[in-house]
């Protein structure tokens, strides 16, 4: 058996250049599955960069140079606490303002914040959770924002696919909204919009190609196009900025563009293990009680931290909501087996493929093994301190989200929300045939 992971040439997330391989076996040791779930962790730990993400930034550069397309960038929360490391910044340094300026310098038309999309996901996903609890729906509800986890369930545990929240990931909600609501607002033909996500993640390159994530074209009654056109990783963004000779640390700071440029503290912590759970609990509390959590009760420390599986029982006005959080696909597998055996029961389960969450995604600046733990903790702390700093810390209180619902989606789980913000999952166990 090969000492390295086999990378299919059609893999949308990673490539392997055999000529650079030193046959160290690190990729094989890192990979936890026999059939790829696109997480990119093997690329993070391949010393000579024989395995890397499949790079897409040149294509976007060409589009910016040679076409009049409206190019819209959307940056995920975890990117801003790692990008600085590529420019000799401190580990985990929060570089949001410089990142936005650097992207504008690349010639991009709009720079939006996926923290906005994260708030949108929470509004829909928390509403779905409360609906499932009150109406005897399938429980536990699983988070669905991590495409590697979703693919893992579809391939290895398809019997659990009804547990996955139908809420799309933040990026996929955001781009479906750009090519409908935003396009209409600005009077732009959605066919002329190129949406780019900057993500810590290589699996997003796979996610955006899912056939069903093209709801904007169906909504607009136009020929098929993807809601998200391209995904580039944090590392790709850094490479591009360096190639353009932009001196990152001498840049002024600037703000995201309006309409989808504001995120709350709840959206920001999406990048951390336990962050989606905490954000959802804050909003679920509001849906159940009709009141916002008081400021001194906003933080759910029992769902934070690096323990492989965390459990908590949260009392919301007498309703006991039982939750679990797993990070790392091995830990998720063990948790699923326990749920399957009926040894544990929960209402809501968060899973992230990457250890620590998206802050150590497969497209983030590489960390040496010696500094692995320390750097992950610094990135995590940086997102939590931004949450503490912000005055808006509840997704449903995001003023731009409120405006979006008033003008377009009406309410969570409405017909139009279901059409553009929710999706479905499939039994993909056939992909394992002959492989396991």
Q: Which of the ranges 10-18, 109-117, 120-128, 341-349 carries the binding residues for ligand SF4, by CB under 6 A?
A: 10-18
Question: Binding pattern to ligand SF4, positions 303-342, x when CB under 6 A?
Answer: ----------------------------------------
Size of the site for ligand SF4 (CB under 6 A): 39
Name the active-site residue from 86, 93, 96, 125.
125
Q: Would you count residue 16 as binding ligand SF4 (CB under 6 A)?
A: yes
- We find the least distance from the C-beta atom of residue 399 to ligand SF4, in angstroms, to be 27
Query: What is the SS3 assignment for 283?
Result: helix
In angstroms, rounded to a whole number, what is the distance separating the alpha carbons of residues 102 and 108?
Answer: 10
Burial class (CB in 10 A: 0-12, 13-18, 19+), 220: middle
417 is catalytic: no
Name the active-site residue from 13, 358, 378, 417.
358
Q: Would you count residue 213 as binding ligand SF4 (CB under 6 A)?
A: no
Cβ-contact 224, 256 below 8 angstroms = no
Q: Would you count residue 115 as binding ligand SF4 (CB under 6 A)?
A: no
Tokens of 36: 């790829």
125 is catalytic: yes
Q: Which is nearer to ligand SF4, 145 or 339 (CB)?
A: 145
Q: Which of the ranges 38-46, 103-111, 317-325, 428-436 carries the binding residues for ligand SF4, by CB under 6 A?
A: 38-46
Which residues, other chains included, contact 80 with Cβ-Cβ below 8 Å and sequence gap of 6+?
Answer: 94, 95, 96, 99
Q: Would you count residue 352 as binding ligand SF4 (CB under 6 A)?
A: yes
128 is catalytic: yes
Q: Would you count residue 30 as binding ligand SF4 (CB under 6 A)?
A: yes
397 is catalytic: no
Q: Which of the ranges 3-11, 189-197, 365-373, 405-413 carries the binding residues for ligand SF4, by CB under 6 A?
A: 3-11
217 is catalytic: no
Helix (H) or strand (E) holding 128: helix 114-134
Alpha carbon of residue 86 to chain centroid: 21
239 is catalytic: no
| Strands 70-75 and 110-113, sheet pairing | parallel
Among residues 129, 158, 62, 159, the alpha carbon closest in space to that of 314 is found at: 129
31 is catalytic: no
Q: Would you count residue 27 as binding ligand SF4 (CB under 6 A)?
A: yes
Among residues 408, 360, 388, 409, the alpha carbon closest in space to that of 79 is found at: 360
What is the signed CA dihedral for 143, 148, 154, 155, rounded to 10 degrees?
-150
In the block, which residue shows the tokens 């819209």? 72
- We find the least distance from the C-beta atom of residue 390 to ligand SF4, in angstroms, to be 21
Name the active-site residue from 54, 151, 179, 204.
204
Backbone angles phi, psi at 162, to 5 degrees: -70, -15
Q: Would you count residue 24 as binding ligand SF4 (CB under 6 A)?
A: yes
Q: Which is nearer to ligand SF4, 5 or 123 (CB)?
A: 5
Q: Would you count residue 176 as binding ligand SF4 (CB under 6 A)?
A: no
Helix (H) or strand (E) holding 361: none
Among 12, 77, 92, 200, binds ligand SF4 (CB under 6 A): 200
Q: Which is nearer to ligand SF4, 46 or 404 (CB)?
A: 46
- We find the least distance from the C-beta atom of residue 216 to ligand SF4, in angstroms, to be 21
Among residues 31, 26, 94, 69, the alpha carbon closest in space to that of 387 is found at: 94
Q: Which of the ranges 44-52, 237-245, 282-290, 338-346 carries the binding residues for ligand SF4, by CB under 6 A?
A: 44-52
205 is catalytic: no
In angstroms, rounded to a whole number, what is the distance separating the alpha carbons of residues 6 and 103?
Answer: 34
In angstroms, rounded to a whole number, what is the distance separating the alpha carbons of residues 204 and 210?
Answer: 10
In angstroms, rounded to a whole number, what is the distance separating the alpha carbons of residues 83 and 249?
Answer: 11
Among residues 199, 191, 140, the alpha carbon closest in space to that of 172 is found at: 199
Q: Would you count residue 375 as binding ligand SF4 (CB under 6 A)?
A: no
* Chain position whose Cβ is nearest to ligand SF4: 361
Helix (H) or strand (E) holding 111: strand 110-113
Q: Would you count residue 357 as binding ligand SF4 (CB under 6 A)?
A: yes
Q: Would you count residue 358 as binding ligand SF4 (CB under 6 A)?
A: yes
In angstroms, rounded to a whole number, what is the distance separating the alpha carbons of residues 301 and 135?
Answer: 29
- We find the least distance from the C-beta atom of residue 393 to ligand SF4, in angstroms, to be 21
Q: Residue 368 CB: number of other CB atoms within 10 A?
A: 7
Residues that bind ligand SF4 (CB under 6 A): 3-5, 13-14, 16, 21-27, 30-31, 33, 36-42, 46-48, 50-51, 146, 148, 200-201, 203, 352-354, 357-358, 361
Catalytic residue annotation? 125, 128, 145, 165, 204, 207, 212, 358
């Amino acid at each position: 058996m090969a000492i390295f992971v086999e990378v299919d040439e059609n893999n949308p997330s990673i490539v392997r250049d055999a000529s650079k391989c030193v046959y160290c076996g690190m990729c094989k040791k890192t990979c936890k599955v026999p059939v790829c779930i696109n997480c990119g962790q093997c690329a993070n730990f391949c010393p000579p960069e024989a395995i890397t993400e499949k790079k897409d930034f040149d294509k976007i550069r060409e589009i910016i140079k040679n076409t009049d397309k409206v190019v819209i960038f959307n940056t995920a929360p975890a990117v801003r606490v790692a990008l600085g490391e590529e420019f000799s910044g401190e580990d985990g340094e929060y570089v949001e303002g410089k990142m936005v300026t650097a992207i504008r310098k690349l010639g991009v038309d709009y720079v939006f914040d996926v923290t906005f999309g994260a708030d949108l996901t929470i509004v829909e996903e928390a509403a779905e959770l409360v609906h499932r609890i009150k109406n005897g729906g399938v429980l536990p509800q699983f988070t669905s924002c991590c495409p590697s986890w979703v693919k893992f369930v579809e391939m290895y545990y398809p019997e659990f696919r009804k547990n996955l929240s139908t809420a799309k990931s933040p990026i996929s909600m955001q781009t479906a909204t750009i090519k409908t609501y935003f396009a209409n607002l600005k009077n732009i033909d959605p066919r002329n919009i190129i949406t780019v996500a900057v993500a810590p993640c290589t699996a997003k390159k796979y996610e955006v190609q899912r056939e069903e994530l093209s709801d904007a074209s169906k909504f607009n009654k136009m020929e098929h196009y993807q809601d998200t056109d391209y995904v580039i990783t944090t590392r790709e963004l850094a490479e591009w900025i360096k190639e353009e000779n932009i001196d990152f640390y001498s840049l002024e700071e600037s703000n995201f563009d309006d309409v989808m440029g504001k995120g709350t503290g709840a959206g920001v912590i999406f990048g951390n293990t336990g962050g989606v759970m905490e954000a959802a609990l804050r909003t679920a509390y509001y849906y159940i009680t009709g009141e916002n959590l008081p400021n001194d009760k906003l933080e759910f420390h029992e769902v934070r931290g690096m323990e492989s599986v965390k459990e908590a029982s949260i009392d919301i006005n007498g309703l006991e909501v039982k939750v679990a959080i797993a990070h790392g696909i091995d830990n998720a597998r063990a948790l699923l087996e326990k749920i399957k055996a009926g040894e544990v029961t929960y209402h809501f389960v968060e899973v992230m493929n990457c250890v620590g969450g998206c802050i150590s995604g497969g497209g983030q600046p590489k960390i040496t093994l010696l500094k692995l733990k320390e750097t992950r903790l610094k990135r995590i702390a940086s997102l939590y301190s931004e949450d503490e700093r912000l005055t808006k810390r509840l997704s449903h209180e995001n003023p731009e989200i409120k405006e979006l619902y008033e003008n377009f989606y009406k309410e969570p789980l409405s017909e139009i929300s279901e059409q553009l913000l929710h999706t479905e999952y499939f039994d993909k166990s056939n992909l394992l045939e002959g492989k396991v």
